Amino acid sequence: MTALKEFERLESSGIWHAAPDAQRRDVIVSVGDATLTISDHNETAITHWSLPAIQRVNPGKRPAVFRPGEDAAETLELDDDTLIRAIARVHSAIEKRRPHHGRLRLAIVGGLSLVAVFLALFWLPGAMIKYTASVVPETKRVAIGENLLTRIQRISGRPCNDPLGQTALNNLHSRLSMEPRGKIVVLSSGVRTAAHLPGGIILLNRALVEDFEDPEVPAGFVLVELLRGARQDPLLDLLHAAGLSASFRLLTTGELRQTTLDNYAENLLISDRPEMPNAAILDRFSQAGIRTSPYAYAIDISGETTIGLIEADPVTPQSTRQVLDDSSWVSLQAICGG
């Protein structure tokens, strides 16, 4: 037996009782690969015990008393440390090899618990938020966007609303957007350049229509926001920022707390917009027939950080499709009354 391979000879004297009331008998005890042999002094075997079945009756006491099984009447007294240690080593090896159903069950339960905790902490919130965003109807998205716009006005002031400028703004939206829903709103302050709200509401800073001579500049910012909105649902952004409880509330009641909207509105106005890949921007501008160069120079007047959009401009000045006629562009530049 491998558990006993370090021992060259395992033999010792002992005292054997055939039954509790039987006369004691001096014997020779030897250990083989799988059995313990009890012999008389003439080396005649009296009995053989299976090593795996042997049990110690008095753990920790001397002499050590063993029996060949659970209900056995025989007993064997041993006082030899080496032999006692060898029997204990056999039992330890057998115990390690024996299947431990309790441990297995505990490991399975523990593993499942860890999986459940992982799902609860990492997968469930994201899945819940995604699901909520996917089932919110368009009318509710528009309502949330309008509510957010109202909260933003506490910081930015009322949107610019000159009637002629508003007509030009509507024309700009029709020119650029592939969907009839949504609108463009010009704000006097608050938003840095442009932002996107649920319901297809795009915010522009007034500087984009007042400080440039080319309508392709505000058109470029609108196109990039439309691209962001197509790649990342603005409602999903809101719910990620608000957390799982807000998603659950929206899913079950159809409403969001005003504090949730206030916090998101404030964060939206000060946070940087997610960058869009140049390839996606170039493709979107090409579809719209609008040059990327005016947009790129509006971001960086030197053109150093936006050189990719300038050099790879997919539309030439000759092939540009008109964004607004001159009259509409002048009206749009005056939308804030300036």
26-61: buried (b, 16+ CB within 10 Å) or exposed (e) per residue?
A: ebbbbbeeebbbbbeeeeeeeeebebeebebeeeee
What is the pLDDT, as a whole number, of residue 201? 94
Per-residue pLDDT, averaged over 172-184, amounts to 88
For residue 250, pLDDT beyond 80? yes
Do the Cβ atoms of 25 and 75 come closer than 8 Å? no
Q: What is the pLDDT of residues 264-291, one digit of tens each?
A: 988 888 888 888 999 999 999 999 999 9
| pLDDT surpasses 90 at 60 | no
What are the CA-CA distances from residue 215 to residues 5, 174, 249, 325 (Å)?
Answer: 90, 14, 42, 9
Structural element, H or E, at residue 169:
helix 163-176
Q: How far is CA 52 from CA 8, 34, 126, in A?
A: 20, 7, 54
3-class SS at 85? helix
% of the chain with per-residue pLDDT over 70 = 87
Which residues face 47 on adjacent strands? Answer: 38
pLDDT digits (tens, 9 = 90+) for 71-96: 888 888 888 888 888 888 777 776 66
Three-state DSSP at 30 gives: strand
- Element holding 202 (H helix, E strand): strand 201-205
Residues 6 or more apart in contact with residue 59 via CB below 8 angstroms: none
pLDDT at site 46: 84
Distance of CA 160 to the CA centre of its chain: 42
CA 119 to chain centre: 8
- In percent, the amount of the chain with pLDDT more than 90 equals 42
Using CA atoms, how far residue 102 sits from 17, 19, 107, 109, in Å, is: 36, 36, 9, 10
Would you give the DSSP letter of residue 274?
P
335 neighbors 207 (Cβ within 8 angstroms): no
Where is pLDDT greater, at 297 or 275?
297
Question: Which pLDDT belongs to residue 122?
Answer: 46
Is the pLDDT score of 214 beyond 80? Answer: yes
